[in-house]
Structure 1
Amino acid sequence: MPLTKTRSRLESSLGMLYYATEAPPIGGRLRQTPDDFIVEEISPEGLLVNSTLEHLDRGVGAFTLAVLKKRSRDLIPLISLLERRLGARVGYAGIKDKNAVTSQLISVALPYGTWSPPSEIKGVEIRAVGPARWPVMPGDLSGNLFTITVRALASLPHGAVQVPEWVPNYFGHQRFGVSRPNTHKVGKLLLKRDFEGAIREFLASPYHGEPEEAYFARKELRETWDLRRAESSFPKSLHLERAVIRRLLEHPCDYEGAMTALPIDLRRLFVNAYQSYLFNLALSRRLEIVGPFAISEGDLASPLDRSNLPSRPIKCESSNLVRLQRWVASRKAVPMVHIPGLRTHLSGIDAKIYNEILSEEGTSPSDFTWVQGAKFEGTVRPAIFWPRGFGSCEPQIDELNPGLFRIVLRMDLSKGCFATVVLRELMKPEDPATAGF
C-alpha cells in the first residue's frame, strides 16, 4: 500500500512522517475562532457530555460529577486553579484542546450538594450533575464528538469531503505543542535526569510561533540567564514559567526542585510526550516496513469491542495468527504498537523497530523508572483507526474571509484518537501552526 510523505517539517520532527491518503490537499485554516473547534466528550455510558446532560448518578459517595465547559483554556493549569479554589482534588478523563470550546466530565472530591461551583472564572462553566462513589480517572471516556469548521478554503472541494479509509493513529500536534513544539524535548531531558537542561528548554528556548513578548523574553534569558531580569520581563501569561523562575531565585541551582513548581500532571505530560514521540517514530517505521494491516508472529493485535475500542492485546502465535489476520482484515481487530516504558517487553516487528530507535535516542526502558514522583510503565496503542460518523455540510461563503469558503466537518473518534490527525489527511498543511493545528 503506497504511503505519501508529509509536506510538513514540523510533522517530520514529531515522527508523523506519512499520510494514508494520496488526495490533493483541500487547504484551509482551523480555529480562527474557538467556536470553530468544538469537542464534546462521550462518557463510558455512551452519554454526550454537553449542555443536554442534566443528571448522571454513579452512586452516592464522596465525589460529585460535573460538566466542565471551557473556552480557550489550558486544562492542566485550570484543574490546578479549581483544586485551589475548592480545596479538593479534581479528576478528569482526558486533556482537551486549548484553542477550542470543549465539554467534559470531571469529578470533585466533595459530596454532591455540599458545594457550589465557582462561577467567576473567565471562559469556564461548571455544572454539578450527580453523585459518584469513585473519581473520574484518566481514560474514563468512550470517545469524543468533534464539530470542526475549516475556513479560508480557496476553492470548493470537488464533491463531498471524503473520509480516509484508515488513519495512522499518530499522537497529534497538540501533544507536543504547535507554537512551541518542545514538550517531548523537556520530557527526554527529565527522563535522562538532566534537570538543568529540562529547565532551560522549558524557560529559555524561544520559538517563532509564540507571541513576540514571550519570544524575546525567552531569547534574552537564554543569552544572559539573568533570572532576576526574567522575573520582570516574562509576561504574566507565562505564569508557570514565572513560578519556576521564582523557585530558582529562592533556591539557586536546585533545578530538580524547580521542576516541582510545576503541577505533577504537567511533569507527567512532558515524559508522556516523549513516549508519544517514540511511538510516532515507531509507527512510521512500521508503516514503511509492513504497512498498516500486516501482523506476524510476535506482534500484538486486539479485538475491538462494541465501542470500537481495543479490548485486550493478544500475542500473535502460529496457533492464532490466521484468525487474527482475518479479524484485522474485517476491522474486528487492530494491530497494536508499544508505547515504551519500564515494563515494556518487545517482540515481533516492534522489537526490531524499537531497538533501532532507542539506540538512536540513547534511551532504554530502564530510564522510565521514577521521575519526579512518577513512573512510566508503558502500554500499547492501536496502530490505526477508522473514523466513525464522519460527515460534512455543504461548503458556504466564509464570512470571516471574504472571497473564500468554509466547510463544517463532524466526526466521532474513540478515546486517544486525535481529530487533527484526520484533518491533516484532508488539509495536508505545510505549516500546521499557520493552519491552526
Structure 2
Amino acid sequence: MKLPKTRSRLESDLGMIYYSTDAPPIGGRLRQVPEDFIVEEITPEGFVVNKDLERLNRGEGDFSLAVLEKRSRDLIPLVSMLERRLGAQIGYAGIKDRSAVTYQLISVGLPLVSWIPPSDIDGVSIRVIGPARWQVRPGDLLGNRFTIVIRAIQSPPDGSALRPGWVPNYFGHQRFGVTRPNTHRVGKLLIKGDFEGAVKEFLSSPYPGEPEDAFLARKDLRDSWDLRRAESSFPMSLGLERAVIRRLLERPGDYKGALLALPGDLRRLFVNAYQSYLFNLALSRRLEEAGPFDVSEGDLVSPLDKANLPSRPIRCDCTNLSRLRSWVASKKAVVMVHIPGFRTRLSGIDAEIYTEIFSREGISQKDFAKISESNFEGAMRPAVFWPVSFEIGQPQVDDLNPGSFKVALRMTLPKGCFATMVLREIMKPEDPAESGF
C-alpha cells in the first residue's frame, strides 16, 4: 500500500512520515484561543469529566476525587505545585494538552475533611466530587472527548471529505514539544547515561519558535556556560530550568543531581518521549513495508473491545494466521507495534525494523534498564485507530479572522490516541507550530 507522505520537516524529524488519506488539505489554524480546543476525559465507568460531573461512586476511603479544569497550563508542573502545597500525592490518568481547556479526574491523597482546594491558581479550578478507596493512576480512563474549532480556513471545506477512516497511531507533536521538539533528545541522553548532555540539551538548546527572551538566554548559556549569569537572565517563565541552574550552582558539575530538581514525572516523560520517537519510526517503517492491516507470522494482534481498546494480544502463527487476518480486515482486531523497553520481546517484522533502528540510534534495549527510578520495560500500542465517534459542523464565517472560515468538530478517541493525528489528516500542515499543533 503506497501512502502519501508528510511535507512537514518537523513531522519527518519526529518519525510521523505517512498519512492514511490523500484528500487535499483544508489548512487552517488550531488553538487561536484556548476554548478552540476542549478536552474532556472519559472515566473507566464511562462518565465524561466536565463541569456537569457531580459525583463518582468509588467507595468511602482516604482519597479525595476532584475535577481538575485547567486553561493553558502544563499538567506536570501544576501537579508538582499542588503536591507541595497540599503535602499529598496527586493522581491523574493522563497528560492533557497545554494550549487548551481540559477537564480530568484527579485524586488527592487526603480525606475529604482534611483539605480545601486552592482557588488562587491562575487558569485552574479544582472541584471536589467525593471520596474514593483508591487513587487515580495513569491509564485509568476509557478515552477523551475533543471539541475543536479549526480557524483561518481560506475556503469552506466539504464536510463529507473531512470524516476520517483509519488513522496512523503516531505519538503526536505535543509528546515531543512543538516549539522546542527535544524531549526525546533529552530522553536518549538519559538512557545513555550522558547526564551532562541531557542537562545542556534541556537548558541551552535554543529553538527559533521560542519567545525571544528565552531564546537569547539559552543561546547565551550555550555559548558561555555562565550559570551565574543564566540565573538572572533566564525569564521567570522558565521555572524548571531555573531550578536546574540553581542546583548546578549549589553543586557544580553534579549533572545527575541537577536533574533531580525536576519533577519525577517530567524525568520519566523524557524517556517516554524517546520511546515514543522510536515507536513512530518503527510504525512508519511498518506502514511503508507491510501496510497497516497486513498480518504475518510473529506479529501480535489484539481484538478490540466496545470502547475500541485492544485486549490481550495474540501472537500470530501458522495455526491462526487466516483467522487473525480476517479479524484485522473486518476491524475486529488491530496489529500491535512494540514500544521498546528493556523487557520487549521482539518478533516478526518488528524485530527486523527495530534491529535497524537501534543500530542507527546507537542504543540497545538494555539501555532502558539504566534509569533506576522508573521501569521502562516496554509496552505495545495499536498501529492504527478509528475514532469512536466523529461529528462535524457546517463551515461558518470566522469571527476572529475576517475573510476566512471556521469549522467545529467533536470526536471521541480511545485512550492514548492523539486528536492531532486526526487533525493532521484533515489539515496536513507544513508547519505544525504555525498551524497551532
Counterpart in the other structure of 1:327: 327
Q: CA-to-partner distance for each residue in 1:110-141, whole Å, 9 max, x for gaps?
A: 11233211111100000111111111000000
Structure 2: how far apart are the matches of 1:144 and 1:20?
A: 22
User: Aligned pair 1:311/2:311, yes or no?
Assistant: yes
- Stretch moving more, 417-426 or 369-378: 369-378
Give the alignment of 1:148-297 within 5 angstroms.
148-297=148-297
Give TM-score, length-normalised by structure 1: 0.99
Give the Cα separation in 1 of the matches to 2:306 and 2:436: 33
- Structure 2: distance between partners of 1:7 and 1:244: 36
Counterpart CA distance in 1 for 2:154 and 2:26 is 8
2:94 corresponds to 1:87: no
Match of 1:423 in 2: 423
CA contact (8 A) 1:94 1:138 kept: yes
Shift of 1:409: 1.1
| Match status 1:403 vs 2:435 | no
Distance 1:322 1:209 in 2: 50
C-alpha distance in structure 2 between counterparts of 1:336 and 1:66, whole Å: 34
Secondary structure of the corresponding residue to residue 113 of structure 1: helix
Instruction: Report the counterpart of residue 391 of structure 2 in structure 1.
Output: 391
Q: How far 1:159 moved relative to its partner?
A: 4.2
TM value normalised by structure 2:
0.99
Could you tell me whether the CA contact under 8 Å between 1:58 and 1:131 is conserved in 2?
Answer: yes
1:168-206 per-residue CA deviation (whole Å, 9 max, x = no partner) reads 000000000000000000000000000000000000000
* Separation of aligned partners in 1, 2:106 and 2:316: 38
Q: Which residue identity does 1:186 align to in structure 2?
A: V
- Write the deviation string for residues 344-377 of structure 1: whole angstroms up to 9, x where unpaired: 0000100000000011001111001141512300
- For 1:404 and 1:64, the matched residues in 2 are separated by 46
Residue deviations 1:59-88 (CA, integer Å, cap 9, x gap): 111111110000000000000011011110
Name the CA distance, whole Å, in 1 between partners of 2:154 and 2:267.
41
Counterpart in 2 of 1:125?
125
Contact 1:161 1:392 in 2 (8 A): no
Task: Assess if the C-alpha contact under 8 Å between 2:65 and 2:105 holds in 1.
Answer: yes
Residue type of the partner of 2:330?
Answer: S
Amino acid at match of 2:296: S
Structure 2 unaligned blocks of 5 or more? none
In the alignment, the residues of structure 1 paired with residue 244 and residue 91 of structure 2 have an alpha-carbon distance, to the nearest angstrom, of 24
Equivalent position of 1:4 in the other structure? 4
Q: Tell me whether 1:62 sits opposite 2:62 in the alignment.
A: yes
Q: CA RMSD in A?
A: 0.8
Match of 1:435 in 2: 435
CA distance in 1, matches of 2:372, 2:355: 26
Whether contact under 8 Å (1:65, 1:130) holds in the other structure is yes
Residue equivalent to 1:355: 355
User: How many angstroms apart in 1 are the aligned matches of 2:58 and 2:164?
Assistant: 37
Contact 2:147 2:409 in 1 (8 A): yes
1:215 CA displacement? 0.4
Q: What SS does the corresponding residue of 1:298 show, helix, strand or coil?
A: coil
Letter in 2 for 1:247: R
Query: In structure 1, what is the Cα distance between the partners aligned to 2:85 and 2:159?
Result: 51
Note if contact 1:206-1:216 (Cα within 8 Å) is conserved in structure 2: yes
Give the distance between the partners of 1:231 and 1:185, measured in 2 at CA. Answer: 24
* Partner amino acid, structure 1, of 2:337: V
Check whether the contact 1:370–1:376 (CA below 8 A) recurs between aligned residues: no
- Verify: 1:102 aligned to 2:102, yes or no: yes
Cα offset, 1:389, TM superposition: 1.3
Distance (Å, rounded) in 1 between the aligned partners of 2:35 and 2:253: 44
Does 1:135 pair with 2:135? yes
**What is the SS of the residue equivalent to 1:91?**
strand
The question of 1:369 aligning with 2:351 is answered no
Identity between Structure 1 and Structure 2 (%): 71
Contact 1:267–1:372 (CA<8 Å) still a contact in 2?
no
> How far apart, in 2, do the equivalents of 1:392 and 1:167 lie?
17
Provide the C-alpha distance between the structure 2 equivalents of 1:382 and 1:13, rounded to a whole number of angstroms.
21
Contact 2:75 2:98 in 1 (8 A): yes
Say whether the 8 Å CA contact 1:20–1:167 is kept in structure 2. Answer: yes
Which residue does 1:52 correspond to in 2? 52
The AA in structure 1 aligned to 2:261 is A
Residue identity matched to 1:75: L
Say if 1:159 and 1:145 are closer, same or farther in 2 by CA, change over 3 A. closer
Equivalent-residue separation in structure 2 for 1:159 and 1:254 (angstroms): 56
Q: Is the 8 A contact 1:163 1:387 kept in 2?
A: no
Cα distance in 1 for residues equivalent to 2:163 and 2:295: 25
The count of residues paired between Structure 1 and Structure 2 equals 437
Report the Cα offset of residue 161 of structure 1. Answer: 4.4
Q: Secondary structure at the match of 2:280?
A: helix
SS of alignment partner, residue 135 of structure 2 = coil
Counterpart residue identity of residue 334, structure 2: V
How far off is 1:162 after superposition?
2.4
In the TM superposition, residue 308 of structure 1 has moved relative to its aligned partner by: 1.0
The aligned amino acid for 1:288 is E
Deviation at 1:263, TM superposition (A): 0.3
1:412 aligns with 2:412: yes
Kindly provide the CA deviation profile for residues 362-408 of structure 1, in whole angstroms up to 9, marking residues without a partner as x: 11110011415123000000000011211111111111101101000
